[in-house]
Amino acid sequence: MLQIVERRVAGSRPAKISPVKTERFIVDTCENRPDLFDACVALENEVWDDLAFLDYTDAHHAHYEELLERHPECHLCMTEADTGELVATGMCVPLNLPNDKALPREGWDWIVDTASVQKGHFANVIGALSISVPEAQRHRGLARDLITAMSIVARLHGCSGVIAPVRPSAKRDYPLVEMTEYVSWQDDRGRLFDPWLRSHVAAGGVLKGVCDRSMVVEQPIAFWEEWAAVYDRDEGFIPLRGGLAPLFVDRRSGVGSYVEPNVWVWHAA
């Protein structure tokens, strides 16, 4: 369970975030920079293009674009201080999570579905949905800066913190390992094995368990040709390029099902 504290008068409007400036970068929101909205969407699509099958969860298909447009105050944009070039983007949404409610198995899809219904009313936490950093900009600490910015958004919404269904970056190399086992792995220095989970912990995050049905994609077998050798196998579990778990192919129904596990991480505001 999370200890959730209401910090804002119910129904009051969250304060606008002021740009957060570092020596080299500026983090702002699409509420302040509507001119960057389209560029942020394009950048996110570019970064996640190799995993475009994740766009086909029912929740993503039904609600994600709507949430981008509804919550520009939660749509983060990071630019170079000198040039103004967009270098990274992140998306989060306001949620109401009852104190007695355990974080669910459904993870990312649950955040999107819930945020769509609640429409930001009586938010007490912020749900993180994506952090997108292009390959050329990685290893500069940008993702960690965006995690910190989401905590700032949480404070301005009067929320206790940020819940994030985190996609461990190295798990794709171990798709057959259960996530509960994977998160227990350590490197030779006694740290969490996964670099993205380490980054969250270094930014103050606390692991809160596995959401083993975070994103669910069910599509006709032909849909999966780009990412899996679906016609080289009869049926059953087969490798999926970029997947954190294998794809299950059912010839009788003609459907391939991908169920992605993530890890819940809590960042107090």
Residue 231's pLDDT is 72
- In the chain the first and final C-alpha atoms are separated, in Å, by 16
Instruction: Output the CA–CA distances (angstroms, integers) from residue 101 to 1, 2, 97, in the order listed.
Output: 7, 8, 7
Band of residue 269 on the pLDDT scale cut at 50, 70, 90 = confident
Residue 12's pLDDT is 46
CATH topology of domain 20-215+263-268: Aminopeptidase (3.40.630)
Higher pLDDT, 25 or 263: 263
What's the mean pLDDT in 25-50?
Answer: 96
Residue 1's pLDDT is 39
| Mean pLDDT of the residues in the chain | 91
Q: What is the pLDDT of residues 242-268, one digit of tens each?
A: 999 999 999 999 999 999 999 999 999
Local structure of residue 237 (DSSP, 8 states): E
Band of residue 232 on the pLDDT scale cut at 50, 70, 90 = low
| Residue ranges per structural domain of the chain | 20-215+263-268, 218-257
Band of residue 18 on the pLDDT scale cut at 50, 70, 90 = confident
Rank 86-90, 153-157, 249-253 by mean pLDDT and report only the highest. 86-90
Residue 140's pLDDT is 86
Residue 7's pLDDT is 43
Q: What is the pLDDT of residues 216-228, one digit of tens each?
A: 999 999 999 989 8
Residues 6+ apart with CB under 8 A from 106: 113, 211, 213, 214, 216
Q: What is the pLDDT of residues 176-199, one digit of tens each?
A: 999 999 999 999 999 999 999 999
- Asked whether the beta carbons of 87 and 193 are under 8 A apart, the reply is no
